[in-house]
A and B are shown apart, each in its own frame.
Chain A
Amino acid sequence: MTTDISPAAPSAAPPPESETEDGKEQTLLQQIMSGSWLVSLLAIVLALLFGGVLIAVSNAEVVAAAENFFAAPGEFFATLFQTVGNAYSALFRGAIFDWDARTTERAIRPLTESMVSGTPLILTGLGIALAFRCGLFNIGGQGQVILGATIAGFLGYALPLPPVLHMLVAAIGGIIGGAIWAGIAGVLKARTGANEVIVTIMLNSIAGYALGYLLKQNWFTHTTSANPQSRVIDDSAQMFLLLPPPFRLHFGFVIAILATIFVWWLLERSTIGFEFKAVGANPHAARTAGISVSKVTILVMIVAGALAGLGGAAQVLGTEYKLTGGISGSIGFDAITVALLGRSKPLGTFLAGLLFGAFKAGGYLMQSQTGTPIDIVLVVQSVIVLLIAAPPLVRSIFRLPTPVLKRKED
């Protein structure tokens, strides 16, 4: 009789309200994903408003006008709106369309720059979003980007191959690099139950330091220079430009569009995606339905890593053309935000990646023209994440009704 004594046996009788027992990770993910488009949009608006406050506070003129607030309130507001307006219009001109530019080329170049910055974010973001949808927290975008970039870059200058083929081989090398790196976390999770969050974070560090080591080895960098950077990749390995210079928009953006379509097909139309989503939503039911949870876990991580690795490859083959210690920038971490903002949907991630690319591209002009620190952009990005992680907060600020879970009681 000892077996049935445990009061923890939750199956002893029909538990009417046991849907939320799947563990915190799962529910947090579900909460994030169940947020509406409206919440995402409002989060962006709120974050920009908050950024505006910071711009005002950090601006000496506004502060000076505030000191004379009671003497000249009108002047304060004029300065305030002018400062914030200038900063954001510079951001816009740097990111989308520059109406002050002398030539048409220069006027539309910012938009293509946003696409260039967005490309690796979209690809990596898709990898993270895919893992999210399958119930896995892939925090290892950074490591996977580094691995992808490292292998793609190395193949880009180490192999003598004809154009296009060289680029494809290098890009596939990047895909494999990212896939292996994420696959390690997948295998460890499936075989030993190791938490993928911890494993991927550690793999980030390993990838970063490994690249740092390799860049000091002349056999790897193919240079004799003491600088920790590699030779420039061959022309044949570069992702060709879609528009003539001065535009930098390259083939990687097309790859990002194709990858978005691929992930959509995978998740929404394929049997593999059905398995992925089933495991993500309810691993118990998936297992009972004959889906191998460990196989899916490994496969999800491999595909996610492949996408992130492709993001790294696009960065080195399309934009940077050489390997440096900072090749990945903060792509891996920004991509997490991108995936969250895009609610882990392929199209959402694509748009969010573009938005973040725009922030990046516009931030430079904002800094150079108005002296507003580019850090403001980072703050805005971070506030977006905060707000998206707490949809009830956004709803209460805008007094939106709480979405009622449709659930009939029997």
Chain B
Amino acid sequence: MTKVFGSFVANDHIDLTIEPGEIHALLGENGAGKSTMMNVLYGLYDADGGEILIDDKPVKFSGPGDAVAAGIGMVHQHFMLVPVFTVAESVALGYEPTKSLGLLDISEARKKVKEISSRFNFNIDPDALIEDLPVGAQQRVEIIKALSRDAEILILDEPTAVLTPQETDELISIMRQLKEQGTSIVFITHKLREVRAIADSITVIRRGKIVGEASPESTETELASQMVGRAVSLTTEKDAADPGDATFQVRGLTVVDKAENVVVDDVSFDVRRGEILAVAGVQGNGQTELAETIIGLIEPRLGTITLDGKKLVGDSVKDRLGAGIGFVPEDRSTDGIIAEFAIRENMILDVYDREPYAKGLNMRSKVISEEAKKKVEEFDIRLGSVSDPISTLSGGNQQKVVLSRELGRDLRLFIASQPTRGLDVGSIEFVHKRVIAERDSGTPCIIVSTELDEVYGLADRIAVMYAGRIVGIVGPETSREALGLMMAGVPAGEALEATAGTTSTDGAANQAEGTESAAASAKPASSATEPADDDSATTSAEETK
């Protein structure tokens, strides 16, 4: 089976061949053209040149329906499921089996779900509602959906972005099973560890071009430099933390959302001067709300937030920024920047009315430009002119603008939510360095991240959140497995115990090995640095319980 691609805008003369029964990883930075290419393959976009061949026969897709008919299935990054449908209904959606008179034959769909589910040990109840299923199970529903249409080629677009490490392991085992049954899998990702754990062959894409094939035996550093086009260091150098007083305290913080769901549940923790507290957890377990409550975008129902002995609850966002909080929001394009505004204006978005940028009501254009140029220099931002709209910058440079704004003043507390989301490896390196520099200057830092690599790379202590609660606060030497269990809600003590002796206890034992050896290579650098901090970290974990 061969597929050939030719020239089109986001993808420049890409040739890709996928053998039957192989797991082919497509590795590239964000915006490299991976998703574009797969969307062409799935019939969502038209190719402007080139052709797709299945079993040496050229095919033409005018929509996803054609692609499905040709045996291509796709699991999107954001699942395309209706929350209130049952599993069987979801699987039937789009090609509803009908009885006479056009009635929906749901029992047929149910049978199919059971059959596929048992074939792969998916353990999915066809009558369960989608919204009641955990994310990993929802993903399996998507896979069942694709398989139920006899997909021979399965495209998985960033499938691990929303999964816990355990769920990721399970997914990897599922992918292996599928492969054994002869299904080809195209696995799109920018996570190097997963690629090495599972892929049979790796294609690296950069700026819409194939820059090379790599073998799963390549080291992560090799893959990363191929992806970015230059040598990068994956582990951030940092000295041991020298924590001072706990100037920032959160006590009994409880936040409810508009629908009266408790999203942050009785959370208490301290952050000391000169340390980085990483808040880890699967997306949507209250970390975002916690960060937004600290900066004042959300008012808590209960609890206190204290910075330098001053209570913050009830103060406006402006007052809290004035108190010395630097805040990097999670969703850069929505909350962090104003796309139409010039770069120099984005650099003063929350300090526009302070000296030296403003005098009275007048803004001082000249000063703003000069300061902007200084920051461009300092943060190595690649741009044409500081007066250009910020939308002309790449994501990495936009994030540098945000960082230059938030770190460009004297801070008493620094909070960053997903500071490197969507950034390329080179920018991540830079952002991490700046955060560590801020820590070293004595600022308490909170980093909210769903990327475990980032958590391990930055954290002096790790707080794991699950369902709005802090499950425990542990040291950076904690194993990935233990963190993974905590991210699934297992209390810190049990998680540490469960992973202390044996390698792994759950069903994914054999798969865990693959990821573990990969994990091991990244771990020592960060965990070895902080042996001293270990004791205090575990005691504070006890406190929170």
Contacts and interface: CB of A to CB of B under 8 A. Distances in A.
Interface of A: 1-7, 9-16, 18-19, 21, 30, 269-272, 274-275, 277-278, 281-282, 284-292, 405-410
27 contacts: A2-B132, A3-B263, A4-B285, A5-B133, A5-B135, A11-B288, A12-B78, A13-B162, A14-B395, A14-B421, A14-B422, A16-B30, A16-B422, A18-B333, A271-B358, A275-B352, A284-B331, A285-B336, A285-B349, A286-B338, A287-B335, A288-B295, A288-B327, A290-B321, A292-B316, A407-B391, A410-B397
Q: How large is the interface on B (under 10, 10 to 19, 20 to 34, 35 or more residues)?
A: 35 or more
Nearest to A14: B422
Given A18-B333, A287-B317, A13 B361 contact: no
B133 A271 contact: no
Contact of B335 (A13, A285, A292): A285
B518 interface: no
B327 A5 contact: no
A274 B80 CA distance: 40
A113 B361 CA distance: 37
A269 B83 contact: no
A245 B362 CA distance: 41
Contacts of A10: 78, 331
Contacts of A1: 134-135, 467
A274 B351 CA distance: 11
Contact of A281 (B79, B135, B339): B339
Contacts of A289: 317, 321, 349-350
Contacts of B78: 7, 10, 12-13
A288 B395 contact: no
A284 B365 contact: no
A265 B147 CA distance: 63
Interface in B381-400: 388-389, 391-397
Contact of A408 (B134, B162, B394): B394
Given A7-B81, A12-B78, A285-B349, A272 B261 contact: no
Given A1-B134, A275-B352, A288-B336, 18 more contacts: A1-B135, A3-B285, A4-B162, A4-B283, A4-B285, A7-B79, A7-B81, A13-B161, A14-B395, A269-B362, A270-B363, A271-B358, A278-B349, A282-B339, A287-B297, A290-B318, A408-B393, A410-B424
Contacts of B286: 3
Given A14-B395, A270-B361, A288-B336, A9 B283 contact: yes
Given A11-B331, A285-B336, A406-B392, A272 B361 contact: yes
Contacts of B295: 288
Among B339, B395, B421, chain A packs the most CB atoms within 10 A around the CB of: B339
A115 to B, nearest CB: 30
B282 to A, nearest CB: 6
Nearest to B421: A14
Given A270-B361, A270-B362, A272-B361, A4 B284 contact: yes
A290 B294 CA distance: 13
Nearest to A2: B131
B31 A410 contact: yes
B543 interface: no
Contact of B333 (A19, A277, A287): A19
Q: Which 7 A-B pairs have the closest CB atoms?
A: A4-B284, A14-B422, A410-B394, A290-B318, A289-B350, A290-B317, A409-B31
B399 to A, nearest CB: 10
Contacts of B131: 2, 5-6
Nearest to B319: A290
Contact of A18 (B35, B134, B318, B334): B334
B352 A30 contact: no
B353 interface: yes
Nearest to A21: B334
B487 to A, nearest CB: 11
A4 B135 contact: yes
A290 to B, nearest CB: 4
Given A1-B467, A290-B350, A410-B424, A19 B135 contact: no
Contacts of B329: 288
B454 interface: no
A12 B391 contact: no
Nearest to A265: B362
Given A270-B362, A410-B396, A290 B316 contact: yes
Contact of A284 (B334, B353, B392): B334
